């Protein structure tokens, strides 16, 4: 039987005239970087990640060369602000600790992370023995950490620091003087899948982790598609397409697992539909249906009539991550707002 890896290698060889040509093109890219371009690192991890080195290795990201213009800087920093959120969520879920402090620094002081679970304590998800979901989570952690490194390298001394993040499921979470209702609880309450007296702890179970991952990956896919058009450097546009592709894989995997779980726990369909509707009300667009389907029909890749995924402008994305459609500059997953040019909704 032909192994999947063998088949992949065969297809890859068939896609290019020769390995020599690919090596030549890589050399050209390296030459361009040495003659004044800004070389982006392809995906790499951080050995000092609080003892939380994700495994397996991250999916390689496209590299790009060229100077970063003002508009490109704004877009890359916006993407980085979202990557801080994803990287920390998957790091906490898999290890109980956030990303390395060396990956949080920038033009201002890094913000705190509110990460208390439903009982107020930070902890990793307890995955079942041999859990395939754990393998997915580890890969997502590695990839999102690689994205943070990739973008920080592109931006250099223009890198915006990690903002205050709310990854909590507590009724009230506090860190370094910042206090707020846990963002996952606030999202679940807004969607009316729990009452105002209940909390939603994304670290309590594999199912809850997947629901949290559904929110995080869905935000990333729509935001990356919507922001990419603002990039002026084609090299960075290609790199952004690579990041979008990675999150699309992640999102589809999460949605497939949730859909499968729905067949034994039918309320998942109701919960995801409610979350989808709540986010739709915030983004202000006539977007495609984001739920995961029904017990008989899956909606693993929500697309429009052209077969494309939803794209949100940066300001529509802010409506979603702030969990507030009114004109605001903070809230939800970002209790003190984002750092960078894209900060305020309805601008």
Give the tokens for residue 10. 């065969």
Mean pLDDT by 10 residues, the chain (347 residues): 49 46 36 32 36 52 50 94 97 96 96 88 89 96 97 95 95 88 94 93 95 95 91 90 94 94 87 90 78 86 85 92 90 96 83
* Residues 202 and 212 sit within 8 Å (Cβ to Cβ): yes
Specify the pLDDT at position 172.
Answer: 87
C-alpha span between 121 and 336 (Å, rounded) = 22
Specify the pLDDT at position 130.
Answer: 87
Specify the pLDDT at position 7.
Answer: 44
Give the tokens for residue 297. 């029909």
Specify the pLDDT at position 21.
Answer: 36
Residue 16 burial class via C-beta count within 10 angstroms: exposed 0-12, middle 13-18, buried 19 and up:
exposed
* DSSP conformational letter for 114: E
Q: Model-level pTM greater than 0.85?
A: no
Specify the pLDDT at position 297.
Answer: 87
* Closest to 293 in 3D by CA, of 248, 249, 261, 246: 261
């Amino acid at each position: 039987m032909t192994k999947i890896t063998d088949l992949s290698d065969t297809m890859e060889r068939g896609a290019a005239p020769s390995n020599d040509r690919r090596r030549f093109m890589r050399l050209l890219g390296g030459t361009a970087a040495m003659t004044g371009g800004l070389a982006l690192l392809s995906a790499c991890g951080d050995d000092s990640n609080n003892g939380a080195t994700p495994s397996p290795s991250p999916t390689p990201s496209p590299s790009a060369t060229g100077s970063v213009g003002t508009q490109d800087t704004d877009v890359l920093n916006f993407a980085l602000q979202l990557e801080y959120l994803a990287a920390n969520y998957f790091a906490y879920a898999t290890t109980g600790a956030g990303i390395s402090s060396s990956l949080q620094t920038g033009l201002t002081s890094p913000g705190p992370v509110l990460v208390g679970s439903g009982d107020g304590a930070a902890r990793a998800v307890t995955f079942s023995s041999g859990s395939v979901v754990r393998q997915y989570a580890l890969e997502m952690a590695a990839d999102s950490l690689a994205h943070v490194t990739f973008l920080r390298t592109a931006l250099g001394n223009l890198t915006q620091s990690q903002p205050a993040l709310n990854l909590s499921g507590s009724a009230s979470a506090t860190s370094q003087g910042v206090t707020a209702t846990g963002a996952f609880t606030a999202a679940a309450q807004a969607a009316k899948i729990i009452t105002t007296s209940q909390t939603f702890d994304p670290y309590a179970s594999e199912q809850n982790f997947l629901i949290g991952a559904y929110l995080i990956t869905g935000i990333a896919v729509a935001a990356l598609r919507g922001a990419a058009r603002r990039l002026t450097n084609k090299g960075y546009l290609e790199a952004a397409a690579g990041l979008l592709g990675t999150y699309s894989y992640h999102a589809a995997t999460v949605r497939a697992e949730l859909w499968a779980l729905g067949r034994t726990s039918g309320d998942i369909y109701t919960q995801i539909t409610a979350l989808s509707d709540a986010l739709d009300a915030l983004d202000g667009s006539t977007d495609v249906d984001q739920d995961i389907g029904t017990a008989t029909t899956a909606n693993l890749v929500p697309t429009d009539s052209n077969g494309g995924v939803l794209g949100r402008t940066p300001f529509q994305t802010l409506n979603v991550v702030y969990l507030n459609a009114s004109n605001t500059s903070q809230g939800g997953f970002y209790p003190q707002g984002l750092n960078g040019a894209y900060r305020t909704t309805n601008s």
